[in-house]
Structure 1
């Protein structure tokens, strides 16, 4: 599948630049999706974060470099992206369990992180309830937070916690009671982070307030909230019922590792939407497009 080829092309790009600057803009360009969406996909199919993989590959090569050369350790540290010997020493010791200087003076055991490669795997063991729908343009109203793409997985839960404490969640529930349109529920939307603007992204917490069909009446967005307009697109809508966070995480893993590689579809470059209803009921909306060969 084309998307697997692109993922492997990203891995090749990383491999070629482990001793140079790795551009997240370039990763987004190669992957043809936002950096945040690629990071999410990578973490579920590789069982490690993208930044962790890059760090571990660099520390693997750095150990070989120290062992096989007489180059100063500080120069090797800088070659693999560290700005100080102290930072490199801490990272090296955390990964390998020994100080970098010991590699040349003692017999030590070192860890390796091999280059990763992705293939299509048909497991057939997991059952996933989904539907594919052509959905008209729609509007989401709520709050928007600008966050660093690389820290999104840590910051997003904090956004929800703050919204629960400061009354934002209550106001969104009130807005939802007026609207009750699909995508339904409280929505968490990850938007932006595309090629050319990969360092930051927007995270929206909101509800659907308009769908582009004649019979739909638009709900007025409160003055202190913002709107996100999404175009007409094809969406795969996946049931993700169950206790959080496992239900959502298992859904993404099944989607990226089993459903998408065998579906005949590719990812469309639109935000991913998580819909939170009540009684441990959730949906995940992911925009897709046919794969053209």
Structure 2
């Protein structure tokens, strides 16, 4: 599978550079996607962040080197695996292995090892995945835009979730909803007026855009908002079952995970630059989610 080959090439690059600088944009290029999309996809597939995987692999190799070398200085091993000082290295080493670097030399000492990842096709259960593929002409959205770092650092709000929280608290979501107008005919009328779109333009190798958005229609009032044109795409759309609000987090995470781990590796499509919509609405008095992914045939 071409998708698997790309992901494994990215892992090969990371493994080959564990003792040097790892450019996440280069790993993403090998996976044929944006840096943000690659890190997000990696997390959903493996249940660990890319940065944590790299940290674990480096500390695994560092422990092996200390244990088997017998003569390597701790400071040299620390620098080799990207740590600025023995103190920061010892702190990270203890957090993972539960012992100090010096203790790793002791005969019979227990250490943890995190092996290299490989992406494979696995046979899962027979649960059906509901989805539909639709081609839509270009349309416009407008709303409240945030630019976020893929590593979560930077000024607040640091994550899209915090942008939602802040915008609900200060009334920005209600105001955007009032400016939105009617939903266009090409979307489900069960959706709320305000939703979200991600990765719709390039912002830098380590950042991505995320917008709380409404569809721009003739009766929309876009004054003071950022407006974005979404090109014509083929979309694969995954709807959720209606659910209680307290099930929202688990429901959306399951949709994302099944897209990345079950549908994308086998469907003969690839995601286009990570462009996606998170749509929310109600059905029969319960919450409802649609995830839209821009895709193209491989």
TM-score with structure 2 setting the length: 0.88
Residue in structure 2 matched with residue 133 of structure 1 by the alignment: 134
SS at match of 2:110: coil
Contact 2:94 2:101 in 1 (8 A): yes
Distance 2:108 2:88 in 1: 23
Distance 2:130 2:249 in 1: 18
Q: Does 1:201 align with 2:204?
A: no
Q: 1:246 to 1:82 in 2, by over 3 A?
A: same
User: Which structure carries more relative contact order (alpha carbon 8 Å, separation 6+)?
Assistant: 1
Structure 1: runs of 5+ lacking an equivalent: 211-216
Residue in structure 1 matched with residue 45 of structure 2 by the alignment: 45
Q: How many residues align?
A: 282
Residue in structure 2 matched with residue 213 of structure 1 by the alignment: none
Contact 2:37 2:274 in 1 (8 A): no
Distance 2:240 2:158 in 1: 21
Q: Matches of residues 63-78 of structure 1 in structure 2 within 5 Å?
A: 63-69=63-69, 70-78=71-79
Question: 130-139 vs 70-79, which deviates more?
Answer: 70-79
SS at match of 1:150: coil
Please report the RMSD computed on the Cα atoms of aligned residues, expressed in angstroms: 2.1
Residue in structure 2 matched with residue 113 of structure 1 by the alignment: 114
Distance 1:35 1:193 in 2: 13
Contact 2:198 2:208 in 1 (8 A): yes
Q: Does 1:58 align with 2:65?
A: no
Q: Any idea what the Cα deviations from partners look like across 1:143-177, whole Å, max 9, x if unmatched?
A: 1112211118962211111001111111122134x
Residue in structure 1 matched with residue 288 of structure 2 by the alignment: 281
Q: 1:124 to 1:230 in 2, by over 3 A?
A: same
Contact 1:193 1:200 in 2 (8 A): no
Residue in structure 2 matched with residue 7 of structure 1 by the alignment: 7
Structure 2: runs of 5+ lacking an equivalent: none
Residue in structure 2 matched with residue 249 of structure 1 by the alignment: 253
TM-superposed CA distance for 1:84, in Å, is 2.0
Q: 1:126 to 1:280 in 2, by over 3 A?
A: same
Q: Any idea what the Cα deviations from partners look like across 1:127-156, whole Å, max 9, x if unmatched?
A: 221110001111111111122111189622
Contact 2:11 2:27 in 1 (8 A): no
TM-score with structure 1 setting the length: 0.90
Q: Does 1:179 align with 2:182?
A: yes
Contact 1:267 1:288 in 2 (8 A): yes
Q: 1:86 to 1:100 in 2, by over 3 A?
A: same
Residue in structure 2 matched with residue 237 of structure 1 by the alignment: 237
Q: Does 1:164 align with 2:168?
A: yes
